[in-house]
Amino acid sequence: MAKEEKRRPFGMAQVIYTLLIISIVIPLLNPVGLPIGISQTTKDVYNYIENTLPAGSPVLIDLYYEMAARAELEPQAAAVVKHLFEKNCKLVFVSTITYGPIVFELLKSTAPDLFEGKQYGTDYVFLGYIAGNEPAVASLAQSIRGTIAVDNYGTPIANLTMMANIDKAEDFKLVFIVSSGTDTFGWYVRQWYTTHNVPLLFGALSVIGPSIKPYVDAKQAIGMLTGQRSAAEYETLVGRKGLGLASMDAQSFAHALILVFIIIGNILFLATRSKPKPKEVKKK
């Protein structure tokens, strides 16, 4: 059987990939508009920003994701940024991954409505990529001006109006970490929350969610958004139709298909197991 599978140019795996692509493309071309419920986790995050975070607060946003993770994380970032801008928060974007400058520019170009009417240097700044991982995060908590001389575009930090009163962890009221890695969250929990008691908000991939939930359960973060699902929920709450909402039908169809495959796989497995094993031919 294995040999037979090997000889074929297109085996069962390729058929499954094709069906999966079809199940995603069809609802993208013809959206069904399946209803989306809003989870308590997302409501908690929204309520914190809406009711607890003072208007005009400085917020640090670490964009720690690469191109592949854009689909899951950019909609979250866009929805939360919209909410923060609506509260006139001062946003300090930074990245501790090399792809940061690209994803920041992509965020700006794909969601220009967010930055409309907002002035660079007065309402938001981008510090660019800062190498060093956890030590870099710890250094930023101590002093931004002590860590970097200029922002991403070469402007001295001292020349940015918004940064006049923002330098260390205590100056921030919230840190929003949008990350495709697990470690990033730990860096901020250790270097910003435990040391300086700055509230943290996590924006993570769905697959990372189970790993960082213990931090949220231990109240080391005010909440978390995971994957496109949370993004779609947040987009509903802030009233911005983005990629999160656009992808929900396709997600549901793809998951339904995978469920069918899992059920078929299990039935076949059980059927194979229940068959009597062929008796071994004893060697004479």
Measured from the CB of residue 268, what is the shortest distance to other proteins in angstroms?
Answer: 19
User: Quick one: which segment of 35-43, 56-64, 125-133, 267-275 binds other proteins (CB under 8 A)?
Assistant: 125-133
Residue among 50 and 134 whose Cβ is closer to other proteins: 134
Choice from 54, 56, 210, 239 touching other proteins (CB under 8 A) = 210
Query: Euclidean distance between the first and final Cα of the chain, in Å?
Result: 27
Contact status: 169 vs other proteins (CB under 8 A): no
- In the block, which residue shows the tokens 């260390």? 168
Closest-CA residue to 125 (of 184, 97, 98, 165):
165
133 backbone φψ class: left, alpha, beta (φ>0; ψ -120 to 50): left
Q: Which residues contact 115 (CB under 8 A, 6 or more apart)?
A: 85, 108, 124
Under a CB-based contact definition with an 8 Å cutoff, are residues 199 and 220 in contact?
Answer: no
Rg over alpha carbons for the chain, rounded to the nearest Å, is 23
Question: What part of residues 36-95 is at the interface with other proteins (CB under 8 A)?
Answer: 68-72, 74
239 binds other proteins (CB under 8 A): no
| Identity of the residue, 49 or 111, whose beta carbon is nearer to other proteins in the bound complex | 111
Instruction: Provide the binding-site residues for other proteins, judged by CB under 8 A.
Output: 9-10, 13-14, 17, 20-21, 24-25, 28, 68-72, 74, 98, 101, 110, 128-136, 138, 146-150, 186, 189-191, 193-195, 205-207, 209-210, 214, 217-220, 226-229, 243, 246-247, 250-251, 254-255, 258
